[in-house]
Structure 1
Amino acid sequence: MRHNKRAPIKASRMRPEHLNLREGETPLAVCPDCESWHRLTRSMISPHRDSSDKPAKSGERRYVGEKPERRRRCPGSAQRITIDLTPERWGQALLAADSTATGRRSARVTRKPRTAVPTPVTRLASLPAPSARLLAVRDQARAAIHEHRSECEVCRTGRARCPVGRELEIRASHTDASVRFVHEEHEAALRAMAAPAAPRRQQWRRVNAAVKRTDQQRSTRPAGDAPKDGGPSVPETPVRITA
């Protein structure tokens, strides 16, 4: 692979977030032309196609049918990168850049929203299943990963991940966790409402006859002044009891 006849770019002059010099991982760099991640081979950016939508140069028609889609070679291919940084110095520069960006953020205090009131038990069964919008977001996240892997030379091998691919996988995992959480909440609500219904009906069926019998006995008055169980008669005149 020959270089693109441009002057080499020193790694110390590049932005630290445009490099990946972690130990044990494939060195990566951002192409200065198309701004996409590519691996470094012999201190040169691997050849790749331009990621922009610029049409390829049209020449003599040598095919029959529709014109095949083929993007032109990116001018940043085979750009020489002089690695004049150690992984330790690159990590320090990356941390310094992150702290600088954090210092530029606004110091305004953002009020956190109040904690949501939990849903009453009587309304748990009405919890909706995952919405169509949430499922569509999950499908889009998965499609973005597949599309990125088909175009990225680093992620295509399956042995390493570029920063963009890693970020896409993290977002997809968060979306899957949200869908799974909604599914579990919905199923738990249905189980909570259906579980106590059957035992309650069975208990009421067992004591229903005794309850009716007790209600009938309470509604009938005994005849006479003596109770049915053979106790003493109820006095009809005042009785004075002296100690």
Structure 2
Amino acid sequence: MASIGIIGGRGRMGQAIAALLATSEHALAGGIDVGEDPAALADRSEVLIDFSAPQALDANLHAAIGAGIPILVGTTGLGERHHAAIDHAAHAVAVLQTGNTSLGVTLLAHLVREASARLGEDWDVEIFEMHHRHKVDAPSGTALLLGEAAASGRGLPPPSPAREEGPRTPGTIGFASLRGGTVAGEHSVIFAGEEERLALSHHAESRAIFARGAIRAAEWLIGRPRGRYTMAQVLDL
């Protein structure tokens, strides 16, 4: 049984995690939101789950370091500065950062990496994603994660999320984003070759799948040595 603290407790993901914790063997240590002090929450938690906002990340990482507990960062829209802060925190505590906590998406990224490595650069890669009308960042953190997986399979650096206009440059990875309704999350990676296409897809039917994966990952983090971890390691991929 783990005592889990939620940062971003009143947000959609925070509420979904709290609802699942209420029916699990784990305990909710409490929840806070942006503007509230995460240090007090960290002091009564064994692990933190952060689904708040990029501007709150520094304070949340410092709280985890101060309490000597691991933290799962599921906040999207992070930039280079935020990733540098995560790298720094990982020298002190265990940190798992991900654009998506779904176990299905984690496996999808693994399959995308494998397909990209085997099909080669003569297959174009297009990443499509759709989310509810309230989602702020685009492309989504999951789309970027899948783009990184495709690039990694080819030994390339993470792709630019900018949409390329005009004819496709060979070897580039395209992104397309749609927003509307109450879509929890829909992602497809399309490999388009000469006269054939391969599509790898994931459809989220509710936020419960992300909450379920976040709880499993948070439980997995407890007791891990300091360092930076990924969802793939949770599934031993």
User: With structure 1 as the length reference, what TM-score do the two structures score?
Assistant: 0.19
> Which structure's residues are more often strand, by fraction?
2
Higher share in helix:
1
Determine which structure has more spread, i.e. the larger CA radius of gyration.
Answer: 1
Q: Which has the higher contact order (CA 8 A, sep 6+)?
A: 2
